[in-house]
Amino acid sequence: MAKDVGNVIEAMYGDLPPPIMLIGHSMGGAIAVHTASSNLVPSLLGLCVIDVVEGTAMDALNSMQNFLRGRPKTFKSLENAIEWSVKSGQIRNLESARVSMVGQVKECEGITSPEGSKSVVEGIIEEDEDDEEGSESVNKRKKEDDMETKKDHPYTWRIELAKTEKYWDGWFRGLSNLFLSCPIPKLLLLAGVDRLDKDLTIGQMQGKFQMQVLPQCGHAVHEDAPDKVAEAVATFLIRNRFAESVGGFQCVFPGC
């Protein structure tokens, strides 16, 4: 996936890409770090990682399957999915949830049109007529129940994250040292200082990167407090002379 980032930038700009700053959240932050450390973007100026730390990420993997099983599998509507994301605390900004949740769900397969639903149901019925075994009747009822559920709850998750488990360890293991080794200015935005692991704590004390904690945010920091994240990134750009202040923008330098 890190190579994909480099390939996309090359496809967009060819051999002369403009100055670029990579910003990634959670798993996207891991991809940004791997992209930067592999020098896949020659014109890379800076790196911003939002609320992903190797230590806490690795600890969280143990309970990730339970977390995924606790999510609704389907939703009655897009509005229902948006409402769940806010009420569950995954996103604390309703306006942002209305944008981001739309891309995370899709219509259940087989019910996008009345004809599609009919053909699936008819196929189930015909299969039952051909089989006399009781187990087949059970399977038929289960399929019909699933179809009814899809009719009442026509939206489901676009990505089945549980199936990507074998990759989870590789996304985050060694991430802190990779981040620290990137020879460019770095910004780490966190929802809480308790998320820092040992390597990053030492690196922060040595001044190897700029860190800013944005309180009263959940994991989706950039969604819960988009104005504060934009301000932090703008200040980082100006502080490192990657950009100039315009329109009376006042830099707010964090204490760490």
**What global pTM score does this model have?**
0.78
CATH of domain 1-70+173-240: 3.40.50.1820
pLDDT > 70? residue 113: no
* 136: confidence class by pLDDT, cuts 50, 70, 90: low
What's residue 250's pLDDT? 73
Domain range list for the chain: 1-70+173-240
Closest of 60, 19, 23 to residue 188, by C-alpha = 23
DSSP the chain: -HHHHHHHHHHHHTT-PPPEEEEEETHHHHHHHHHHHTT--TTEEEEEEES--HHHHHHHHTTHHHHHHTS-SEESSHHHHHHHHHHTTS---HHHHHHHHHHHEEEPTT-SSHHHHHHHHHHHHHHHHH---HHHHHHHHHHHHHHHHHHHS-EEESS-GGGGHHHHHHHHTTHHHHHHH-SS-EEEEES-GGG--HHHHHHHHTTSSEEEE-SS--S-HHHHSHHHHHHHHHHHHHHTTSS---TT--------
pLDDT > 80? residue 95: yes
Residues serving a catalytic function are 26, 51, 219
Q: What is the pLDDT of residues 195-240, one digit of tens each?
A: 788 899 999 999 999 999 998 888 999 999 999 999 999 999 999 9
